[in-house]
Amino acid sequence: MHIGSFDILFRRAIGFVGVMLVLSLLIFLLARVVPGDPARIALGPSATQAQVEAMREQMGLDDPIIVQYVNYVAGALRGDLGHSLISGKPVMREIAELLPATLELVVVTLLLIIVISVPLGVMTARYRNTWIDNCGRFFSIVGVTMPSFLFAILLQLIAANFIPGWPLLGRVDHAFSLPDGPTGLLLVDSLVHGRGDIFVNALQHIAFPALALAMAGIGQVTRITRSSMIEHQRRDHVLTLQSFGVPDRVIVFRYLLKLSSIAPLTIMGLEFASLIGNAFVVEMVFAWGGFASYGLEAILQKDINAVMAVVLVSGMFFIVANLAIDLVLMVIDPRMRFREAR
């Protein structure tokens, strides 16, 4: 790797730490100003005042605010984000059990976005102002404007009426005994353990939730890919290639697609983090039982420790996903690497 790349990685790593510290501070302060005593929430309304005072001391809520924050950051560095005020279990253990389900859903959703939107964007740009372009743009507008829960309900109705026996709830049929690790991702673990039957069943279960969640991203990326392709088609180097008789197929797949992928990749980096946070509605419709619905339940029950952990983990994924996208973009477009190195 070029020495400039190490400098860029080092600077991005420092930035990652700084952003995480700022995020943790904001989450901590917001949690402390939210109405409601965490000790009272943990013990319930029947607890005596003496029990609440004892719990406050045990949770460190009587310490100065700066001491509480330092203890919180130190615990986070050890992987300890406290206990759930509702279940009493370590928050990180609960998140570790539920996060793979949401990550699997988000990864399949991103794959669907890439597989559908990029070819659709190229097709609509290639056949601009034709019926193909009009259909593609209509599809994009519908995907962006309709909320994901409406797609989820619509897909459930379609399956119930036209695809008898198609699984609509959960990650896999109850008749299957789930493979024991190693990743928690059913599609991966079933293949690792050689269980093709579980893989097919899990794929059926995830198809509609992922498609419902992907529709907005498909609409956005299709429109951006189309616009970017049209913009680059007018560049001098493309016109020069066309004047030399280079086939359109070669121009599109060898030159235009690479240049036009920068904007869609940036959108997909942002989309990855937003999918984790926005997946809760689809998870609830399909009884998916993942990290996003856990976060929603934590908010409704005022489980402050769980809410803080969910926001912190979501923020970490957001920062890591954008860092990864930036590195990919620097590989695709060397000009970005040079700008960063200066």
Residue range(s) in the chain whose domain bears CATH number 1.10.3720.10: 100-338
Over the stretch 54-90, which tens digit does the pLDDT of each residue have?
Answer: 878 877 778 888 888 888 888 888 888 888 888 888 8
Taking a C-beta distance cutoff of 8 angstroms, is the pair 305, 42 a contact?
Answer: no
Over the stretch 179-230, which tens digit does the pLDDT of each residue have?
Answer: 777 888 888 888 888 888 889 988 999 999 999 888 888 888 888 888 888 8
Taking a C-beta distance cutoff of 8 angstroms, is the pair 165, 205 a contact?
Answer: no
pLDDT over 70 percentage in the chain? 94
Residues whose CB is less than 8 angstroms from the CB of residue 220 and which lie 6 or more positions away in sequence, other chains included: 117, 140, 143, 144, 267, 271
Exposed/middle/buried for residue 222 (C-beta within 10 Å: 0-12, 13-18, 19+) = buried
pLDDT of residue 261: 74
How far from 162 is each of 106, 152, 167, 172, CA to CA, in Å? 26, 15, 13, 21
More confident residue, 211 or 252: 211
CATH 1.10.3720.10 fits 100-338, yes or no: yes
* pTM (predicted TM-score): 0.80
Q: Which of 16-30, 195-209, 266-280, 297-311 has the lowest mean pLDDT?
A: 266-280
